[in-house]
């Protein structure tokens, strides 16, 4: 009810205008949206690549953060980044402890976009293998330690 109203507003806004490099892939209901993002500068890691983000909203959105992960779909891959696990889970304080209800889908996309843009390391986070094998299906159960302020 509360979440749906707010998402409806965001959606009508998104249909009207979006910042460059961000587009909507699908939003057929108010619980799951897919957004395509693209890095616009000439970062060799992500040049000419489009990545797909999956947003999962709970009933308490925007009080509670949405679950945001990268997904492999339609030939879209998971970007290489020291804070993005190979199963698509993103370690970003904005999506965890630093979430604030004034954020929205657009601002989250832009944050992730700039997180990719500023990255220069072609690597996965330490312990990526064990993490992916441990079978976390939802980022919500993970207690990330946000230790790196450089990226």
> Where on the chain is the footprint of another protein (CB under 8 A)?
1-6, 8-13, 16-17, 28, 30-31, 56-60, 62-64, 98, 100-102, 133-138, 140-141
Nearest approach, Cβ of residue 24 and another protein (Å): 13
HEC secondary structure over 5-62: HHHHHHHHHHHHCCCCCEEEEECCCCCEEEEEEECCCCCCCCCCCEEEEEEECCCCCC
Helices (H) and strands (E) in the chain, counts: 3, 4
* Closer residue to another protein, CB minimum distance, 72 or 140: 140
CB of 106 to another protein, least distance (A): 12
CB of 9 to another protein, least distance (A): 4
91 is catalytic: yes
Active-site position among 22, 68, 89, 91 = 91
What would the two tokens of residue 76 be? 């879209």
Residues labelled catalytic: 91
């Amino acid at each position: 009810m509360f979440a749906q109203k707010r998402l409806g507003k965001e959606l009508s806004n998104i249909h009207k205008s979006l910042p460059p490099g961000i587009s909507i892939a699908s939003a057929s209901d108010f619980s799951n949206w897919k957004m395509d993002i693209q890095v616009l500068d000439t970062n060799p890691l992500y040049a000419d690549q489009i990545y797909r983000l999956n947003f999962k909203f709970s009933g308490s959105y925007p009080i509670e953060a949405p679950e945001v992960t990268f997904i492999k779909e339609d030939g879209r891959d998971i970007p290489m980044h020291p804070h993005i696990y190979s199963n698509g889970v993103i370690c970003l304080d904005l999506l965890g402890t630093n979430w604030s209800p004034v954020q929205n889908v657009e601002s989250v996309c832009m944050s992730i976009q700039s997180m990719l843009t500023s990255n220069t390391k072609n690597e996965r986070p330490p312990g990526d293998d064990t993490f992916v094998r441990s079978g976390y299906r939802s980022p919500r159960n993970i207690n990330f330690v946000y230790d790196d302020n450089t990226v």
